[in-house]
Structure 1
Amino acid sequence: MSAVGLAPLALVGMASRVPGGSDVDELWETLSAGRPKFGPVPAERLSGYDEQTVGTGGLTAALMSDVDTFDAEFFDVGPRLAVWMDPQQRLLLETSWHAMESAGIPPGSLAGQDVGVFVASATSDFRDSTVRSGTMDRYSMVGSVTTYLANRLSYQYDFRGPSMTVDTACSSGLSALSLAASGLRAGEIDAALVGASNVCIGGWFSSALSYLGALSPTGRSRPFAADADGYVRGEGVVCFVLKRLDDALDAGDPVLAVVRGVAANHDGRCGGPVKTDPGSQARLLRKTLAQGGIDPASLGYLEAHATGTKMDGAELEGLRELCRGRAGGPPGRFAGPAGNLWIGSVKSVLGHLEGAAGAVSLAKAVLILRHEEIPASGGILAMEPDLEVRAQEPDTAAPALHWPGSASSPRRLGVSSFGLGGSNGHVVLEEAPAQATGHGSPSPVESLLPVPLSATDAESLTRVANRLADFLDSAKPDEFAAIAWTLQTGREHLAHRRVVPASSLDELRAGLRSLASGEPVRELQDCDGWLEGGTFDWRRLWHRPPERRVTLPGYPFRRTSLGFVPRQPQTGRS
């Protein structure tokens, strides 16, 4: 049993790219709508798939339309190397950058530090496809070996902590999170980048899964349904930035959620090579809850592993075993709406992201806490205090369950992920703490603040300005100071730079529109050195700077299609 009272951790940054969602806001819209993102798999992604032998299970999936695109120039990756990089490497580079932007942490500020990188992945379609094609290049190894999914990020950002690619099959995302949590709690690292990716660009793995009987021959994903006939594959990438909670609060990081417990275990011989075990799941959940001294009754939601197979019932039995073994027996009520423990699965909408399944489930859980709602449109279960379960069928018209915060008790939820080979992961999340203002409201030296913007070139700067202006349409006026502070200190300052002077949110929004349209924007002489590529002490513009940075839109990469697999030897610049 894990020790009680382990230090809580903070999720301070998060980014995602999945079918139907190029960022976390679009991910939430997709999950709230509840419409499955499944469709036919294009022939170019089915190389080697023999429908006559393995059946139709692999012919439907939830796929990204732009999985082969990448902004190589932004990351200073030459065109030859870019072509030979596994698309997972490319996706992780862009999404990790967005995750750090989400945290208001310039990647360069962490260079040379003991930042750990833990990346989850359980497939290697790119390498499998290049082997079948017989093509070869001097970049074949570094572009396709799975260790580079993590090592590429550590190299790119000059992070000096442990760098590991983790494969525990479907639980890989939460296994990676567990490793990061252990390093943070032991003091071995002060920050962690946790990523997960899954890309479906070849036919071999789909063939193997279909032949095994894991994939739905009807192309449906129906978690917990009596007529569930298998899962639908999905692809995407998710990244998180983690710190110890106290450190995050001291640094003014935007805490998205608190990790109260995270743990992993294995079924041993209690389950089977491809079959999970309810008792092992119950022990895992009990161990995870014990890390934060948390009662199962204080949970209001569980983001379940539930893939849409006959084994989904074992997950419900594991929950019952957990609650039956609770001191005092089953709870009189759970902490979710109507006193129930609500249970859902992202797989009804996005399919099963395999090595990234736990990570996208975690992202959904963070968004539930942020939006104070539990999506019901994709189908949901309610476990009542007597441990009976009632189901709500998927219905895109079903309203979300309102789950507001409370001053008396924080909202908590769990996320489960169970691996094909018997490795299991679970995490307990708690809503972010109220972040008091401490020594008072922010106070700039002058009412007119220089708000910096930067990009790699003039065209990209226009897109940065437009994207930020659109975002600010829904911002609150009293957020102006925190937004200005975040842009001053929470962004990497790139080569092409401009300053928008503003004393209010309206002035900033108007200045961004003017900048994007090519109209002249007044410059401030104090910032001349910064505009020319130098550094600037933004703190000296404030008597009292804001205590917190805020989450703002990520950089709009300029992506180019690179294809799935190189078809001929590449020449030219590296």
Structure 2
Amino acid sequence: MAESRQRPGTGGPDAIAVIGMACRLPQAADPAGFWRLLREGVDAVADAPAGRWPEAAEYRRGGFLADVDGFDAAFFGISPNEAAAMDPHQRLALELGWEALENARVLPAALRGSAAGVFLGAISQDYAALSDRTASPGRHAYTGVNRALIANRISYVLGLRGPSLTLDTGQSSSLVAVQMAGASLRRGESDLALAGGVNLNLLAETTAAIGAFGALSPDGRCHVFDERANGYVRGEGGAVVVLKRLADALADGDQVHAVILGGAVNNDGGGEGLTVPSARAQEEVIRLACAEAGVTPGDVGYVELHGTGTRVGDPVEAAALGAAYGAGRTEPLLVGSVKTNIGHLEGAAGIAGLLKVVLAVKHRRLPASLHFQTPPAQIPLDALRLRVVQETRPWPVGGRLVAGVSSFGMGGTNCHLIVAEPPPTATVAPGVTPGTAQHDSAGHDSGGRARRRPGWCPGGRRRRCASRRAGWPRSPPPTTLTPAWTSTARGRWTWR
């Protein structure tokens, strides 16, 4: 069925365009910084920042953001008291949503009242646990810690009338969010969608609980598909992409960074244990995604792994990849994991992997997967027709750039997306060149985007606010729950 709908290189009527992106990741404040980190093979895992997890006795290493407490409440029309009660996941999502629209050159005001959707993955409950410790929570506490509002606040602030969902499917949440956003666009339910996920590691107790479960690496590294694999290291941050139907993006003159051809979601549906992954289910979700995207396994040149570096999970994932993609290949399938760079972002892990692939497509280079030397006997890479990318390199020669992205939840919810380079710009609607749509006298183009002017820069608001904040006393660390942790209510920035 899907074969008749689209093939690699055609774009297809169901293809979804990635037209904007934003991220806040360890040692990477934006997509350009993230690409530098990937291209240079940086390991951003480090000891916990001063003041974070002071009571932690072990598992102190992770991928951390330098700043989780700064927030320009006044810019979003939020009072200091309400901002102080807001889960920082809500604050980070608001900033990333805005910055993603900046990157896409979409004027937020032009979206008010439109069928634009918000689909975000988030699983952390750390701030709610902190809130429970205060004797007088205040009138904003209930909305401040409700996870549904991570997505709903973006819809409220921007006046968006499309679906607004915060999803929790475990560690696959953010990639499932992207898949659901694409489905909403294909159905015509949304005309534009913000999709992604956020994850902040505020409590040492949560890390201790995951360590007690046996999932964390004692040496603080993800040794993906390596004989030294002994667990993962936690990471934090978030990313948001702006999505449109490809035909609409081309007609509107949007810059298309990559195209999502299709994807699939399933569940293990039982097995050896609640949290034990199923190779059969993972193979099935890959085959379903390829069928939906209209690609054959041989069309796919690279897969961004779920790749946590666990002794149980890695062999299962490798076996599924070998079964779905390995048979009949003339060259091994290239694989890698961004978790080796920034740690496992858990609820936001899938969007981090997707963003890596979008940037790899955009720059036509595949970044290295770190900390890999020798595969264990349980992962016979040659027999499975798999090869770990060990240094930054070009994509395989021949054909269109096509990749798979995997993300699996601990409860068995699996997601796989097929991502490709955009079709040639010759397919843009007649008379429209990407990024040059006609502008009206108010400075907006036909797609509602702000006209680029000298000095216009995505993310400029945050950089100006950050420089304005330089020299201010630091707020208390997130181990305390006080109104001081968070909103500095800095001056409002206006679009220019």
- Residue 135 of structure 1: CA displacement? 4.6
Retained in 2: the 8 A contact 1:266–1:423? yes
Give the structure 2 partner of residue 523 of structure 1. none
Deviation at 1:204, TM superposition (A): 2.3
- 1:279-428 aligned at under 5 Å gives the runs 279-310=280-311, 311-323=313-325, 330-333=327-330, 339-376=331-368, 378=370, 387-391=384-388, 398=391, 400-403=392-395, 409-428=399-418
Residue 562 of structure 1 deviates from its aligned partner by: 5.1
Residue of structure 1 equivalent to 2:202:
201
Question: 3-state DSSP class of the match of 1:132?
Answer: coil
Normalising by structure 1, report the TM-score: 0.74
Q: Does 1:556 align with 2:475?
A: no
Distance between the aligned counterparts of 1:212 and 1:379, measured in 2?
A: 23
User: Does residue 1:15 correspond to 2:34, yes or no?
Assistant: no
Tell me the number of residue pairs that the alignment of Structure 1 and Structure 2 aligns: 462
Task: List per-residue Cα deviations over 1:124-154 (Å, max 9, x = no partner).
Answer: 2111122134451211111111111011111
- State whether residues 372 and 404 of structure 1, in contact with CA within 8 Å, keep that contact through their aligned partners in structure 2: no
| Structure 2 counterpart of 1:489, from 425, 444, 447 | 444
Residue 553 (structure 1) shift: 2.9
Deviation at 1:89, TM superposition (A): 1.1
1:46 CA displacement: 2.4
- 1:262 maps to 263
Q: Please, which runs of 5 or more residues in structure 1 have no aligned partner?
A: 325-329, 334-338, 443-478, 501-507, 513-550
TM-score (norm 2): 0.85
Single out whichever of 164-173 and 101-110 deviates more from structure 2.
101-110
Query: Contact conserved, 1:224 with 1:306, CA < 8 A, in 2?
Result: yes
Give secondary structure in 2 for the equivalent of 1:348: helix
Secondary structure of the equivalent of 1:161? Answer: coil
> CA 1:214/1:384 → structure 2, altered by over 3 Å: closer, same or farther?
closer
- Quote how far apart the aligned CAs of 1:441 are: 8.7
Q: Structure 1 pair 87/492, CA: closer, same or farther in 2 (3 Å)? A: farther
Query: Which residue of structure 2 aligns with residue 446 of structure 1?
Result: none
Q: Once the 2 structures are TM-superposed, how far is the Cα of residue 386 of structure 1 from its aligned partner?
A: 5.8
Q: In the TM superposition, what are the counterparts of 1:436-515 in structure 2 within 5 Å?
A: 436=426, 439=430, 482=436, 488-489=443-444, 512=455
Query: Cα RMSD (Å) of the superposition?
Result: 3.2
State which structure, 1 or 2, has the greater radius of gyration over its C-alpha atoms: 1
Cα displacement (A) at 1:306 = 0.7
Q: Residue deviations 1:257-305, cap 9 Å, x none?
A: 1111111110011352111111100100000000122101011110000
Q: How does 1:535-550 map to 2 (within 5 A)?
A: none
Q: Deviations over 1:87-115 (max 9, x none)?
A: 11111111111111111111111110111
CA deviation after TM superposition for structure 1 residue 332, in Å: 3.7
Shift of 1:215: 0.7
Contact 1:263 1:284 in 2 (8 A): yes
With CA pairs under 8 Å and 6+ residues apart, which has the higher RCO, 1 or 2?
2
How big is the shift at 1:47?
Answer: 6.6
Q: Secondary structure at the match of 2:425?
A: coil
Distance 2:52 2:482 in 1: 18
Query: Residue 91 of structure 1 aligns to a residue in which SS?
Result: helix
C-alpha distance in structure 2 between counterparts of 1:357 and 1:239, whole Å: 12
* Amino acid aligned to 2:110: S
Structure 2 vs 1, CA of residues 3 and 380 (structure 1 numbering), >3 Å: closer, same or farther? farther
Deviation at 1:237, TM superposition (A): 1.0
User: 1:53-92 maps to which residues of 2 (within 5 A)?
Assistant: 56=58, 58-92=59-93
Task: Find the residue that maps to 2:244 and give its secondary structure.
Answer: strand
Change (3 A) 1:68 1:223: same
Question: 1:433 pairs with 423, 442, 446, which one?
Answer: 423
**Structure 1 position 385, deviation (Å):** 8.4
1:61 and 1:404 mapped to 2: Cα distance?
32
SS of equivalent residue, structure 1 residue 196 = strand
* Distance (Å, rounded) in 2 between the aligned partners of 1:195 and 1:219: 26
Q: 2:38 aligns with which of 31, 49, 66?
A: 31
